[in-house]
């Protein structure tokens, strides 16, 4: 019996590999290779290993899990940004970048005792907020299923569900003088479509200085940013500090749309270069130019805050605004993620996808900053301990006073009392001081802007970003890249770039 089952799975393994070769464009890759590489011979070990697992593993293996493990292993051998995306994770990734999801509107995570806790006040107006859920509530059960031993992801998947359906939560809520006998809170929450905001804070500081912090780049980010800019202008904003610290990026298209709020129409934002060997002649090369009239006048003073957690799409925005002298960049050198990931759906396993690095993006300075980052015009170093303390201070101010979302505690620079333990946001303070020096932006640029040959430099020779050199292609800028008024070049646009997101928004 075991022998016949083994023979069946061995044949199945062969057929799976043959199907991949013949139906997924693999044969095109094989026959396009020169004689130096025998691709068929290279993939034979995959079948050999699967055959040996089916024949010799101590227990009957789950073939689906083995195959998924093989796929994940293949992707991990490429670079740190490429990965295999199972079906459930793909749904999470898609809903996050779309700017909305079906759930109840809470951010969850583990506490020190590994309980799953609501980390901050529910999104205003969300089902969780209407049901009275609070920051600090421990989720004990979901639909009468105990959460003990569950991961954040497990709990999140149980909380999420179709709009209009109901989830029953059992919560433990600590209060003053609470004991182990404190009654649990039982609550039904009707799920709904929850908007995900990219703007975490927007306000006007003393002197008419606008301040907006953007946490990531979704499909809705440019629209939200546009609305906030108009709101602050009505409140008397005369200059702006755009805070991209802790911003891990998001959609490639969203970075271009954000730049359109500040840069003239037909200005180059970024361009990408791939290997030039896409299926059926497709190319991953793309030139992104602004396509609308900016919302903010060109002489409007603008400072952008960055740190080592400013990455990917937020670096595209930083690089473009710095190159075109549209903003003074203040803070620390950015992360240095200059690669573009394309999410490629798979027919097998159903609903899964590959998140594959298909191209590198270049700033208008004609360099890719992958593994290199962008240096600020004005460096304001902050040690890691202070940086973490500041981030926690900002988060805590929202938890304690949800109504003060747009008045978070940055220390004295935002008018907060300098109590013991209060962290001063020195980078924000430096940005404020720069703007207050002179109301004429041109004068500030002349004083603080550094040559982009210093601030935007190419990555090391052995970096994955050296696509042009590795594949014998020129990494030069696209035609008319130096011309701010050049017409956008048309071509195949790769699928939107998607960055890893923190687990927890449900």
Quick one: pLDDT at residue 412?
94
Quick one: pLDDT at residue 473?
34
Cα–Cα distance for residue pair 383/118, rounded to 1 Å: 29
Nearest Cα residue to 296 out of 313, 319, 321 = 321
More confident position, 506 or 139: 139
Tokens of 473: 């292609």
DSSP 8-state symbol, 142: E
Quick one: pLDDT at residue 471?
35
Residue 404 has pLDDT above 70, yes or no: yes
CA 415 → CA 200, 207, 229, 409, distances in Å? Answer: 19, 12, 22, 8
Residue 57 has pLDDT above 70, yes or no: yes
Sequence-ordered list of residues with C-beta below 8 angstroms from that of 354, at least 6 positions apart, any chain: 71, 75, 82, 83, 84, 85, 343, 344, 346
SS3 204: strand
Quick one: pLDDT at residue 282?
47
Tokens of 257: 């749309």
- Per-residue pLDDT of 101-111, as tens digits, reads 778 988 888 88
Sequence-ordered list of residues with C-beta below 8 angstroms from that of 504, at least 6 positions apart, any chain: 107, 108, 109, 119, 152, 156
Quick one: pLDDT at residue 8?
52
Neighbours of 357 (CB within 10 A): 23
Lowest mean pLDDT among 157-171, 212-226, 342-356, 360-374: 342-356
Quick one: pLDDT at residue 203?
97
Residue 178 has pLDDT above 60, yes or no: no
- Per-residue pLDDT of 318-357, as tens digits, reads 999 999 999 999 999 999 999 888 888 888 888 888 888 8
271 touches 286 (CB < 8 A): yes
CA dihedral 456, 341, 279, 76 (to 10 degrees): 110
Taken as a whole, the chain contains a residue count of 506
Residue ranges and CATH numbers for the domains of the chain are: 2-61 (no CATH), 100-195 (2.30.42.10), 199-269+293-336+373-461 (3.90.226.10)
- Number of Cα atoms under 13 Å in the Cβ half of residue 110: 11
Enumerate the β-bridge partners of residue 154.
none
Sequence-ordered list of residues with C-beta below 8 angstroms from that of 441, at least 6 positions apart, any chain: 239, 299, 300, 301, 302
- Per-residue pLDDT of 1-35, as tens digits, reads 555 555 555 555 555 555 554 444 444 554 445 54
Q: What share of the chain is helix, strand, coil (3-state, %, to 5)?
A: 35, 20, 45
């Amino acid at each position: 019996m075991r022998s016949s089952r083994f023979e069946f799975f061995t044949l199945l393994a062969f057929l799976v590999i043959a199907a991949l070769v013949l139906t997924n464009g693999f044969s095109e890759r094989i026959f396009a290779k020169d004689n130096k590489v025998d691709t068929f011979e290279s993939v034979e070990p995959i079948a050999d290993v699967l055959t040996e697992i089916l024949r010799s593993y101590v227990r009957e293996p789950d073939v689906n899990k083995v195959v998924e493990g093989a796929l994940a292993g293949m992707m991990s051998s490429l670079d740190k940004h490429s990965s295999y995306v199972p079906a459930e994770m793909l749904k999470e990734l898609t809903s996050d970048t779309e700017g909305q999801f079906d759930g109840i509107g809470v951010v969850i995570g583990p506490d020190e005792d590994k309980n799953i806790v609501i980390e901050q006040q529910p999104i205003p107006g969300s089902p969780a907020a209407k049901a009275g859920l609070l920051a600090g509530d421990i989720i004990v059960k979901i639909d009468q299923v105990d959460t003990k031993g569950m991961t954040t992801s497990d709990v999140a998947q149980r909380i999420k569900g179709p709009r209009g359906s109901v989830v029953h939560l059992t919560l433990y809520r600590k209060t003053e003088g609470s004991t182990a006998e404190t009654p649990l809170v039982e609550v039904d929450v009707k799920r709904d479509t929850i908007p995900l905001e990219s703007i975490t804070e927007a306000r006007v500081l003393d002197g008419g200085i606008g301040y907006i912090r953007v946490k990531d780049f979704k499909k809705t980010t440019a629209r939200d940013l546009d609305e906030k800019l108009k709101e602050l202008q009505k409140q008397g904003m005369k200059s702006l500090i755009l805070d991209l610290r802790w911003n891990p990026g998001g959609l490639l298209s969203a970075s271009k749309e954000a730049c359109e709020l500040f840069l003239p129409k037909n200005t180059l934002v970024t361009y990408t270069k791939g290997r030039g060997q896409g299926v059926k002649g497709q190319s991953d090369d793309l030139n992104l130019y602004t396509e609308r009239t900016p919302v903010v006048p060109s002489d409007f003073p603008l400072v952008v805050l960055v740190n080592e957690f400013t990455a990917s799409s937020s670096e595209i925005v930083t690089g473009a605004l710095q190159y075109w002298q549209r903003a003074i960049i203040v803070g620390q050198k950015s992360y240095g993620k200059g690669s573009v990931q394309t999410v490629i759906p798979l027919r097998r396993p159903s609903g899964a996808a590959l998140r594959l690095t298909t191209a590198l993006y270049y700033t208008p300075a004609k360099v890719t900053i992958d593994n290199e980052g962008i240096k600020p015009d004005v460096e304001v170093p902050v040690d890691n301990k202070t940086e973490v303390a500041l981030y926690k201070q900002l988060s805590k101010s929202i938890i304690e006073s949800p109504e003060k979302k747009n008045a978070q505690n940055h220390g004295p620079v935002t008018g907060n009392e300098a109590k013991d333990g209060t962290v001063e946001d020195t980078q924000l303070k430096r940005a404020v001081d720069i703007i207050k020096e002179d109301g004429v932006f041109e004068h500030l640029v002349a004083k603080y802007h550094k040559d982009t040959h210093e601030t935007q430099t190419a990555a090391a020779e052995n970096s994955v970003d050296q696509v042009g050199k590795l594949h014998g292609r020129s990494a030069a800028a696209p035609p008319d890249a130096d011309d701010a008024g050049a017409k956008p070049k048309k071509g195949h646009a790769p699928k939107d770039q998607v960055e890893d997101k923190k687990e927890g928004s449900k």
